[in-house]
Structure formats: structure tokens, C-alpha cells
Amino acid sequence: MTNKSKVTIRDVAKAAGVSTQTVSRVINNRPDVSPATREHVKKIVGDLGYAPNTIAQSLSSGRSNTIGVVGFGLEYFGSARVLTGIERKANELGFSILLTLLDQFDRQKNERVLTHLIAHQVEGIIWAGPAFTDTMDVIDKMTKNLTVPIVLLNRNSSNTNIVVAMDNRTGGRLATEHLFEQGYQKIGIITGPASWWEAKERLAGWREVMTENGYSDIDNLVFEGNWEAESGDRGFKALNAAVPDLDAIFVCNDQMSLGVLQTANRIDLTVPDDLGIVGFDDIPESSYFSPPLTTVRQEARKLGALAVTQLNECIGTELDEERDKSGENLVTPKLIIRKSSVRN
Amino acid sequence: MTNKSKVTIRDVAKAAGVSTQTVSRVINNRPDVSPATREHVKKIVGDLGYAPNTIAQSLSSGRSNTIGVVGFGLEYFGSARVLTGIERKANELGFSILLTLLDQFDRQKNERVLTHLIAHQVEGIIWAGPAFTDTMDVIDKMTKNLTVPIVLLNRNSSNTNIVVAMDNRTGGRLATEHLFEQGYQKIGIITGPASWWEAKERLAGWREVMTENGYSDIDNLVFEGNWEAESGDRGFKALNAAVPDLDAIFVCNDQMSLGVLQTANRIDLTVPDDLGIVGFDDIPESSYFSPPLTTVRQEARKLGALAVTQLNECIGTELDEERDKSGENLVTPKLIIRKSSVRN
DNA sequence: CTGTTAGCGCATTCAT
DNA sequence: ATGAATGCGCTAACAG
């Protein structure tokens, strides 16, 4: 049925014996068309296999129904989920997605990406690129006089843009409080790279709770990992050597937790009896670590969906100072308690 | 600098005192412009912060420079990597990506997606959606008279379309041959869901090698898992019960391998001495399992890049029967040998 | 080397 | 309820 060569609105109009406007009205479900002609046109549309040219619609109407998404690190479980969440919600709201992936911070490339998206007439942008603390103001500047709204993911705040984020600090608090509740005393932390906002926040949460529990001078309890299992291994060894009476570790992601568990097993240290462990992320495998891992679950998909919702609201309103960056845009993570932190 | 309201090619032309055509030539780097005016126009473009409207360019030129990508299961490590590979290569070749994600097979939705992409005037499509063996012909039919080329990922073949795939069968062979070489005798397999093409192929590879080694009547050595760690656990128990002298398992992904290892550890079965294990995927954590996992590495990014390359060639040529579906489109996986399959 | 004329496919005024 | 004219921003084909 579907004809190879593109059939235009004019072809349909001609075949139906009406004007192109009438066809336009029908395909856009506008009123002001008699039921009879509407049906007639619909039939012709079907027969000819006509589908409106979105490009032309966009140019003519000034609306692209497309949002630009700048992603990063899909190999991280969280990032992949965020993108999934974005796609689902965007789809639901009738937006198409123009995707760009970044791998590292590079101002020039960032600017090119932005320009590229704008040139494509996207109606808004979701920036889920890398959130390095030292590049945040750069991004703020870059996006300052954008012609379309932009939602930034995973960072504290921006004075110019909407921000949506996982509440990593609370996540860090949850993990640490739980370890204290379980009776652990000397709680170390293996963080992610200090340049990552997420790492900083989780660390801050840990620090808060440590302080609240009367610990000061705790810098020797901190090891900076790189998110990978191997660094969990290293971190555990380093902390163990530096702090003999260490009895628990908040490991800032599940991969590194695996490294810790692996090493603990090897040196016959029993988790959770000798060492309590809490991870972060709740990757699907974490319930199959030995022992199963207590961890902080991030609802990454929800975060992605929230970003789209927020963006959509901005797209609706005129963007002249209509934005309120209310603090409601935090998604709170949740502690999943398993064996690795609960003594028998 | 950048003005809020959109500046068009006409604004630039006016400001530069030339025709829009000349501006067009400059921004498209065409010849036939004197160096002097070229520079002059470029300057104005910079001053005005002009960026050509891609939508208008597309409509006018008939080329969108966009490809549609239909993805699936980004939470699987391989899928995420494939998408990354696609994005990189597409970017390199100057294509933008219109992304759609699917979660399950749904003919109606599939057709909508295709229509949607076509309506967006994509120049080609990469179908990295779910590859269920029983839906392949449906997809073939669906895509039969598409107006643009499409590349299908992860399936055996198609009589109408180009196919690019990981050579899962060879992967299965590699794993099984290795276990035989290591002296294991009774090699079971925990597969993925039988409806998945990947699962079927890996199983076929295993079956081939088993047969070559003189084993017949091997159906009791097969357990169908669901890719998740939990099913590795179940599978191991089931195989162990059914086949007392089982001494190795080819587990068709790393997550399920983790389940097996976990259970083996629990019942004090030593890997690799009592039980050899080979996984599939080489997720980053697999080298941190205990013991580190021998596994079949998929170069998923390469696969994604290959898909784009193939598509690009089709986009270049006229697509009237110009396609050769030569068998070169297989990416061969690679065995990564670690501790779990090598006896001391 | 440069400008003019036309038109991509559609939606948005206005008419009627 | 329907149609005619006009233009979105740009490029193609020609002219000079």
C-alpha cells in the first residue's frame, strides 16, 4: 500500500477533491470540518499512505515538538536509566528526542552541541552531561542566553536554570545513619572522584552524620575511588591499613562495593560481622553479591521523567522570567537493607 | 552577543549587503564566493550570532542529515554500549540522532515508531529493538517497503534488509571449546530466554561443540534462564541436581554467572576446581567476581559503529536493489580468560 | 563570482 | 464549513 515516492498534502487534496487546508485540518484534528469530508479525507489519506512531513510542519508552525537530550556515560547503570525515563516521558508528552552523547567535559564541544541543538529548533534541552563541580559555572554561562529552556541534571543549583537531581546527600546520610544504627562505630567511606558532584554530595551526607555522632578529625576515613571495582579493592586495603579498628564502610557505588567484598572475602574477613558495607545505586546484581549488598537505591527513571516534566512546563509558558527554581526537584533515594550491613 | 530572537539568513544578507544566496554559499562552504566577501559574510554571521535553521535547510534541500535509532533495554550493558557506538559514529559522519526506545515487542507500536521516524524525514533507520526470533518476520514485513534504508541489529538474516550482529554462535563455541581444553568433561549451559535470538545462538554454539566432542543426548544439560542473577542461581541448582557429575557451566551472561558463583560459594563448591564457569558479556565487574570470571567479551560499541557505517553506505547509493547483504557484518567476540575456568 | 526567481510541504491568516 | 493567498527559512537552478 504505502507508496514509495513521497505523497504530499497536495496529492491528498487533489485526490479528495478538496483544498490542502481542509486536509491540514483533518490531519491535525481541527474542528470546522464536516464529518462527511473528514471521513472522506481520512480515507484518501489511508489509501495513499500519506504521512505529514514533520519537517515542513515544524517550519510552518514554528514548533518542532522535539527536545534535545545531552547524555553521558550510558555504561553507568544510573545514566542509562535516566535516559530511559526521559525517553518514556518525552514520548508520552509528544516530544521527539534528538540525542547527543558526551564522554568528557570539553567546553568547545559543549558549545557545539548546544548550537547544534538550537539549530535543530529543539523546544528545550535536557542536559544530563557530566556534572563536574568545577565546570558547573561554565555551563551556566554557556546556557545563559539560550533561546530555549534547559533543565540541568544532577547538580546543586543554578541561578539561571532549572535543576533536577537525585538527593545524593540524603542518600549518603541514609547509608551512614543505618550503619550507626546497626552498631558500627568506625565508619569509613570510599567515594567517587572528587570532581564529581554526586561523589561530593554523598561524602557530605556521610560527613554530616559522622559529625552528628560526635566524630571529628575523620579525614583519614576517606578514600577517593574512581567508581570502578578495582578502586574499591584499593580503597578497602588503604583504609584497613590506616584505620585498624575500621568496622564499616560506606562505598559510594555498587561496583566499588563488589571490589571491597571481593577483597574482604579473600582475606577471610566476614561481612557483615567483621565489616559492615553499604553501597549506592542498587544495580540489579547487588542482591546477588556475597553477601547481598545493602545499598541506596536511586530511582533514576523517575529523575529522567521529572526532568522532562519540568522542561515541558517551561516550554508551555513564555520563558521570560517565568521560572521558579523551587527546591522540589529533588528525588529522594531509598535505603535497601540486605545482608552486608546487618550482623547476625 | 547572541541575540535572543532568531536571526535569519536574510538578516545576515541585509547586514552584509549581499544576497541570501551568497550567505547560503558561505555557510555551506561552497566555492564560487570571493575570499573577500566570504570573510565579510563570516564576520557578520559571527556578529549576529547567526546559526542556520536546520529544519529549513532540510525542507529545502531534501536532506535531513538525521537517522532514526530504535533502541531497547539500555539497562543491559551491551545495549547501552551499542547505542554509544551508534552515536559516536553517527556524529562523526554528520548525522543527528532521533531516538526512540522500546521495551517489548508490540507490532502496533513498532509500526507507529517507523511511521514517526519516516515522517521526520530520517535518511535511514537503525533497528536495535528487541530481537525475538518469533517476531523477526513481522519486522521484515513491516520494513519491506520503507522509503529509507534500515539496518537491523542482532539477528541472523533478513531477505530484505541489511543485518549487523554480534557473532553469538562463535561466542558460544569459544566458551565451550575453552572449557573442554581446560579438561572439563560435563559442560552444562544456562541460556537466556529461548525467545531471544542471542540466547538461541549461544546455545547453538555450545551444542555444536558438544556434538563435535562426541556428546549426544545433552538436553538435560540445558537450563533456560532469564538473564538475571537469580536465574543463574536456580539454573545451577537445577543442573546440579539433574547431572551429578556436572563439572562446568557455560552461563550465557555475566549477571547469571554471578548468581551461579554466589550459590557455588554458599555450598562450598570451589570454582574453578570443582566447577568451571564461563560467562558472556564481560561487564566491568566481572573481573571482580570471586573468582574473576572467564567470559566472552562483546565489542558492542564496534557493533553500533558498524551499523552506522553500513547504513551510511546505503544512504549514499540509490537504494533500488543496490544492497548486498554480504556476511561481513558479523562482529566476532573474544574470550577473556580469567580464574573461573582455569584449574590450579 | 553574484543575484534573481522559484519552490520544498505545510499551517496561518484571512476571506467566503 | 471551506478555500485562496502568503510565508516559515532556506537552497536549487538558472541568469548574468
What pLDDT tens digit does each residue of chain B (344 aa) get? 344 468 899 999 888 889 899 999 999 988 888 888 899 899 999 999 899 999 999 999 999 999 999 999 999 899 999 999 999 999 999 999 999 999 988 899 999 999 999 999 999 999 998 888 888 888 888 888 788 999 999 887 777 789 999 999 999 999 999 999 999 999 999 999 999 999 999 999 999 999 999 999 999 999 999 999 999 999 999 999 999 999 999 999 999 999 999 899 889 899 999 999 999 999 999 998 889 999 999 999 999 999 999 999 999 775 445 455 544 689 999 999 999 999 97
A298-313 CB burial, b ≥16 within 10 A, e <16: bbbbbbbbbbbbbbbb
Angle ∠(B166,B162,A69) on CA atoms, nearest 5: 75
Q: What confidence tier does A156 reach under pLDDT thresholds 50, 70, 90? A: confident
What cell numbers appear for A21 in the block?
A: 487546508
Residue whose cell numbers read 576446581: B273
Q: Are A204 and A169 in contact (CB under 8 A)?
A: yes
Bases of chain C below 7 A from a protein C-beta are 1-5, 7-13
CA distance A302 to B342: 43
| pLDDT (0 to 100) of residue B328 | 61
What cell numbers appear for B128 in the block?
A: 536495535
Across the interface, of A87, A121, A229, the residue whose CB is closest to B288 is: A229
A145 or A48, greater pLDDT: A48
Q: Please report residues of A whose CB lies closer than 8 A to that of B88.
A: 101
DSSP string, A314-337: HHHS--SS-----GGGEEP-EEE-
Angle ∠(B332,B338,B343) on CA atoms, nearest 5: 125
HSE value, Cβ hemisphere, 13 Å, CA-based, for B332: 7
Across the interface, of B56, B259, B289, the residue whose CB is closest to A59 is: B56
The SS3 assignment for B197 reads helix
User: Residue A211: pLDDT above 80?
Assistant: yes
Nucleotide nearest to B32 (CA to C1'): C1
Q: Give me the domains of chain A, ranges plus CATH numbers.
A: 4-52 (1.10.260.40), 66-166+300-333 (3.40.50.2300), 168-297+335-341 (3.40.50.2300)
What cell numbers appear for A250 in the block?
A: 560506606
What cell numbers appear for A260 in the block?
A: 571491597
Length of chain A measured in residues: 344
The whole-number Å distance from A52's CA to D12's C1' is: 23
* Interface test with chain B among A7, A81, A285, by most B beta carbons within 10 Å: A285
Average pLDDT over residues A224-248: 95
| pLDDT (0 to 100) of residue A4 | 45
| pLDDT (0 to 100) of residue A318 | 57
The whole-number Å distance from B145's CA to D6's C1' is: 36
- Using a 7 A cutoff on CB, list residues near strand C: A 6, 8-10, 20-21, 24, 27-28, 50, 52-53, 56-57, 59-61; B 17-22, 25, 32-34, 36-38, 59-60, 62
Q: What one-letter code names the amino acid at B278?
A: V
Range list of β-strands (E), A172-287: 187-191, 222-224, 248-251, 276-281
HSE value, Cβ hemisphere, 13 Å, CA-based, for A99: 27
pLDDT digits (tens, 9 = 90+) for A22-71: 999 999 888 778 888 888 889 899 989 899 999 999 999 999 999 999 99
Q: CB–CB of A119 and B53 under 8 A? A: yes
Give residue A65's region: left, alpha or beta (phi > 0; psi -120 to 50): left
The SS3 assignment for A153 reads strand
Residue A125 pairs in a beta bridge with A68, A150
DSSP state of B101: E
